[in-house]
Structure formats: structure tokens, C-alpha cells
């Protein structure tokens, strides 16, 4: 009963590794992948800004 209340209160299906070890592993792998994609997006935005600055200097 307390596990159900904890899930309801948090809004999460997995609150700890004891709830679903395989779900937690999958969730953490997905979280790491999302962080990598976000970093790649930031890197490409920085690169675009750098190219635009260089282009402006050449014009």
C-alpha cells in the first residue's frame, strides 16, 4: 500500500531500484542517451554560431 501511495505522490512509475531494477537500468540508459543528444545539439549550435561569425568577417 505504501508503495502505491509513494508512486501516486511522486508521479513516477519507478521511485527506486527496488521497484523495478530492469526499468531503472533502462531509464538511466535513456537518460544518458538524452544527455548525449542534448550535448550534441549544443555543440552544433556553437559550431553554427562560429561559422556565422567567420562568414560575417569574410563579407
**pLDDT tens digits, 8-54:** 667 677 766 677 788 889 989 999 999 999 999 999 999 999 999 99
Query: What's the confidence (pLDDT) of residue 12?
Result: 72
Three-class DSSP labels, the chain = CHHHHHHHHHCCCCCCCCCCHHHHHHHHHHHHHHHHHHHHHHHHHHHHHHHHHHHHHHC
Residue 8 half-sphere exposure toward CB, CA atoms < 13 A? 5
**Between residues 21 and 56, which one has the greater pLDDT?**
56
In the prediction, which pLDDT does 7 show?
A: 64
User: Cell numbers at residue 2, please?
Assistant: 505504501
Dump pLDDT digits (tens) for 2-20.
666 666 667 677 766 677 7
* Cell digits of residue 39: 550535448
Amino acid at each position: 500500500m505504501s508503495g502505491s501511495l509513494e508512486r501516486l505522490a511522486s508521479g513516477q512509475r519507478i521511485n527506486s531500484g527496488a521497484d523495478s531494477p530492469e526499468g531503472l537500468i533502462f531509464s538511466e540508459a535513456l537518460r544518458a542517451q538524452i544527455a548525449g543528444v542534448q550535448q550534441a545539439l549544443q555543440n552544433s549550435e556553437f559550431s553554427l554560431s562560429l561559422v556565422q561569425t567567420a562568414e560575417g568577417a569574410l563579407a
